[in-house]
Structure 1
Amino acid sequence: MGDVDEQSDLAGFSTRAIHTGQEPDPTTGAVIPPISLATTFAQDGVGNHKGFEYSRSGNPTRSAMEAQIASLEQARYGMSFASGLAAEDNVLRLLTPPHHTGGRRVLLGNDAYGGTFRLISKVWTPMGIPWAAVDLTDVDALRAEWPDDTGMVWLETPTNPLLTCFDIEAIAEIAHERGAIVVVDNTFATPYLQQPITLGADIVVHSATKYLGGHSDVVGGFVATSNDGFAERIAFTQNAAGAIPAPFDCYMVLRGVKTLAVRMDRHCQNARAIVDLLVGHPAVERVLYPQLPDHPGHAAAAKQMSDFGGMVSFQVAAGREAAMRVADATSIFTLAESLGAVESLIEHPGAMTHMSTAGSPLEVPDNLIRLSVGIEDSADLVDDLAAALDTV
């Protein structure tokens, strides 16, 4: 578990991204933390070690990465996992006895990542953790219609794939009044654009595979919290269940996060150029992007995000088959799942990342296209997508 030195929070975002947890190697002076591949660590005496015993329990490269990202989330503790879903699975264990004695229901927004929905509904619900999909944009309705057995509120903001944004501060206030844990999936916004813990969230989760890694070459997950009890339990399960990332994967995320700020600036800039193309285009029925004044949760996004992100979704006016033709017709946008990397990606969520939501309250429109806008030259991206839209 990476613990953050409170003094590190005094520095700016990029300074912390480059330096927190990453002091030069005391033996060689190397400015990049070495990749420690050791599985075990020598002890001077029984129980007398230098902070590491066995690499499932703790690893120097992993500790550096955990301290780095926790600092960016303005959290006291950070714990890394082998994937984003492994991170989520460990967080959901907080609802199980004997430590948890309150409500066990998970309130999930009615728009969420298909993998998260599958994990909750197909893995945890059969084990006694019920769920409900609710409109989290309506704070008054949430307060009035709160299910009494709720133990956790799970927020994606912006959501995947409709990019709806929720007021973290308002929802956290309601949830805490009723004894529920507030979890925010901050994968789309990243800590550069939004810090949920400062807004009242108890726990932040990430798919580190996405913007944190940033180069489509590593799979990982991350949990950040400032709650001592939650940190202790999640760290215990991290070790006991063992879904940890390899040291090389931790190094890859460490390296990716160093450039997170400059990448996110370019992602946001390019996304705005794409939105300018799509708004009013005759082939487009609707554009989904948090900066647009009529976007669901625009006010929440403007309040809690420093910019609006690199994800753009839109609905093709001519329907499902036309949407699939657009997804097939690009040359710079790569037809692929995942998101958040330097290269631009295009996908059809209903047939790809969100197939598991079919027939549920979270089912996505069948004419929806999701774009992960990369950091290529914006003019090339605009021309590529414009040509693809011309096919319909």
Structure 2
Amino acid sequence: MKLTHITVSALALIAASATVASARDQIRVTGSSTVFPYSQAVAEEFANQTGSPAPIVESVGTGGGFQAFCGGIGEGHPDLTGASRAIKKSEYDLCATNGVTDISEALIGNDGLAMSISRANTYDWDMTLGEMYTALAAQVPVDGEWKDNPYKNWNEINPAFPDVAITVYGPPPTSGTRDAWVEIAMHKGCEQLEFVKAGGFDGDWVEENCSRMRTDGPFIEAGENDNLIVQQLNANSNAMGIFGYSYLYENLDQLKGVKFGGIEPDFDTIAAYDYEVARPLYFYVKNAHRGVIPNLQEFIEEYMSDAALQTGGYLAERGMTPLPEAQRKEYQTSVLGAVNMEAPTE
């Protein structure tokens, strides 16, 4: 399906921008470092199939991507942004403030947040989310009180763990991977602690007190480039890293996943959400740019194609867990038809 028109109001917004949008002949994609390799794969396939210029794909994190995407209409602003979480109300409102009022939301698949370690490390790592939280959180229970985290070595978390320093590389606060790790892994881990269960603390308490990663050394913010984390793990066999499953999948010859509750991240455990740290992956389309930026609609068609998204598709080959067929077709219909998403409530 091709859309060759946009609304009068969208045209007015484009005309009001510094340069007419059609002056740009390359599609611009920004956003999540986790979605980046998938967008890059689609960009390469699109260029190979059509002979058109390959879209420019950049990795700035989910939050940074929404900031750029929601900055306005016109050639100075991206056409799509990838996200490792759903758009927030505050981001949607920023889009509306800047005239980005017609957005299609594409759920493209699922991903596991993997804590990984070098295969040179021979210990069979298996921990609870509560143990992970105790190693990485800014504040934890210490002798019956909620205090700043004093633990430096893994055997202080569990005597069965090796006596090595806790060294974990992970994403910065601007990353959707960081948001998802906190909301899924850290909060679940905090809720597993006896201190929290015995205290009867509710979700609001957990969100307020269990959302901060420690900043005293054991947890290291490694930026938005997950390939750099892979390099750090290869350099230090005792270090661990947090990133999307695709990076573990692409480096299985060098890395292995840390199990949580006896379950390791793989296609099946992520798809079934048996692996406790699984999440959905998205991209968002600026519909006012369809029919103005050359080949944008065709690129969207490639991104939403069965060849890309179905089981056995080329994105699954890169580590993404595909959606069930009915759900995939629902999003294909809405995104290809430029259906405007509903406003988020939070």
TM-score where L is the length of structure 2: 0.31
Instruction: Identify which of structures 1 and 2 has the higher relative contact order when contacts are C-alpha pairs closer than 8 Å and 6+ apart.
Output: 2
- TM-score w.r.t. structure 1 length? 0.29
